Structure 1
Amino acid sequence: MNKLMDWILRAFRAFDWPLLLILVIFCILGMTVMHSAVGDTDWRFASQARNFLLAFFVMWAVAMIPPSRIMKFAIPFYVIGVAMLVAVLLVGITNKGATRWLNIGITVIQPSEMMKIIVPLMLAWYFDKHRSELRILDFLIAAVLLLVPFSLIIRQPDLGTGLLVLSTGFFIIYFAGLSFKLIAPVFVLGVAAILLILHYEPVLCSPDFDWVVLHEYQKHRVCTLLDPGSDPLGKGFHTIQGMIAIGSGGLYGKGYMLGTQTHLDFIPERTTDFIFAVFAEEFGLYGGVMLLLLYTLLLARGFLITVRARTQFGRLLAGAMTMMLFMYVFVNMGMVMGILPVVGVPLPFMSYGGTALVTLGFACGLLMSISNYVPTRKSSESGE
């Protein structure tokens, strides 16, 4: 009986209560908006409720595992993850021109989603093990560890997930001590490339011009971002309808379940990638600002956990998980508002999807584990 009580107390202590409160609010808000977005597909509402429940138990289970134990899974998880990405390219399931899924017998999984957690976990472990004396070689090895899964994901092709994995891994490398002097030239080159694309857009977006490094559909996404009106009923349809829905919401919105763009089926993928358009149409600018404030609270709690982490591994991993959440929000809202290409990135805790919610639950579980971890003398002496 005493052991049971001790387990129950330990289970409840695993929660980071401020973070849990924010997530509960997101759950209520997400299910409320989903009820309006599903329309006639009521099965998605019930399915999303199950997804939230599964994500909660995944989060709880991960939160109960101390970071010192989580570290031990970094290498096996990374090796298995890369092996599954290779298997996807060889024997993966193809759907709508993309080969991203793997049949493992009992279910079908998308290994690239797992790499959003596995890659930061591996990099955090690597830099923690070499924290006493970081050299340029260590950063080069870390770059290879990052670029291997990134290149495999891009080949599927899955640009959205690939960019999330790349950015999250980059943040780990930066937090580990990468000099800003090395980043600045890359940033300048990136800005210069964007300006050149804007200047030469008519030539670059002509049908006969081959971008070489991008697939044809990826080229079309960039070109329709620059000029959605060039293909209003095709590649530009998503962007145009998203912007119309957001604009029609005005300051106060049309009211809950009163969005015409939503319920007349003008908004594409309204339960997944474009659910922010549904929210903005019904709750308006003020509702969008409140949603951004809620995400800001989530990120602020993540950064607070990061700075309070008691180990190098915890700081790096918590920072990466928080920045991953930021990238989710930034990329999704950016593509819905027409300032970024449509790349298929869900809005955290709002968009429909089991895999994405479980991944987010796992990330929040890691944050809770790091938040509550107090190293013992033995673990401190061993460097964990």
Structure 2
Amino acid sequence: MTADVAVLGVGMHPWGKWGRSFVEYGAAAARAALADAGLQWRDIGSIVGADTVRGGYPGYVAGATFAKALGWQGARVTSVYAACASGAQAVAAARAQILAGLADVVLVVGADAAPKGFFRPAGGDRPDDPDWLRFRLLGATNPTYFGLYARRRMALFGDTPEDFALVKVKNAALGALNANARYRKRVTAEEVAASQVVADPLRLLDICATSDGGAALVLSSVEFAHRHGVARPVRIRAVSTVTPRYPSTVPDLPDIATDSAAAVEPPSESFRASIARAAYEEAGIGPDELSLAEVYDLSTALELQWYEDLGLCAEGEAAKLLREGATALGGRIPVNASGGLASFGEAVPAQAIAQVCELTWQLRDAAGDRQVAHARVGITANQGLFGHGSSVIAVR
């Protein structure tokens, strides 16, 4: 029995700051995905919603909230929360239902209406929340956290702010070609260097924004896709939702010592590398077989880190890979052909789903001016608070 599920439909609500409810964005994305699949809402046997803690009680029960918005029709409903990995968890839940025979077709939806400025922990004082602890005890807000990672790469591998700027230049050029992106303007390295310092060495244009937006997928069994007239659908072959391994804990800061760190050998691989390894092992492929990757570029420096964690190059060689043009459109392994979070910003429950939307368009040869030539295999990479892994491999 194959573990593949088919991607019948994909849809998005454009990213931006629209000032409306996340429900509107998710419902619009869902309708677009249904139309792309050639199905009606009443054809859907199950809906999985990726939750948003910023949407109040409806956000915590996103599956039922979206089902209500689309019109009650008796579908099974599931809601999942895994911070930035929520979308991948939703895909995993949908795939499990399909492979278990509980539903032939499942709708996956994620949407967010993000606050202005950088994210803050939801719900006031939360001493059990790693974000709250990091903010309050260390003064390490998200930009500070990103800056520490950047400084680490500079110290260990010789990366420079100019290298980081090249990531933004690449992604902005691709985002300019994407109608769903929030930022559709090319930038130069000089413009990145002239933008305001936020957390040295990172500047404003090195860091992704917060955004409103939505994304949706219609998933089915491969057999249903064939019956529906889709002879060769894009298929999801692997979904990695792994957690860290001891002595790693929740990966909030790079190489911060814990009480156990001195007594225990460090892990043989980073948490991010373990996310990718689990996906590769499940799919039965290696990084040399990839056509493209969509990665979680909260900062320009973090995108470089993903190159190494995905096995696209050896440790310390990410900046070299970038400078050679290998990760640009037309290069050996284009990364963030969508424009990435640099062009979209974060709409947290939607972003891992949006990455699968991009893989699907690319594997269908339907990505227009940002099309990766001869795309056959793609990977997404993401991670969520509390040690939520997130990676999806799609093939055609």
Q: Give the shorter-chain TM-score range.
A: under 0.3
- TM-score when normalising by structure 1: 0.27
Report which of the two has the higher share of helix: 1
TM-score, length basis structure 2: 0.27
Bigger Rg, which one: 1
Tell me which protein shows more strand as a share of its residues.
2
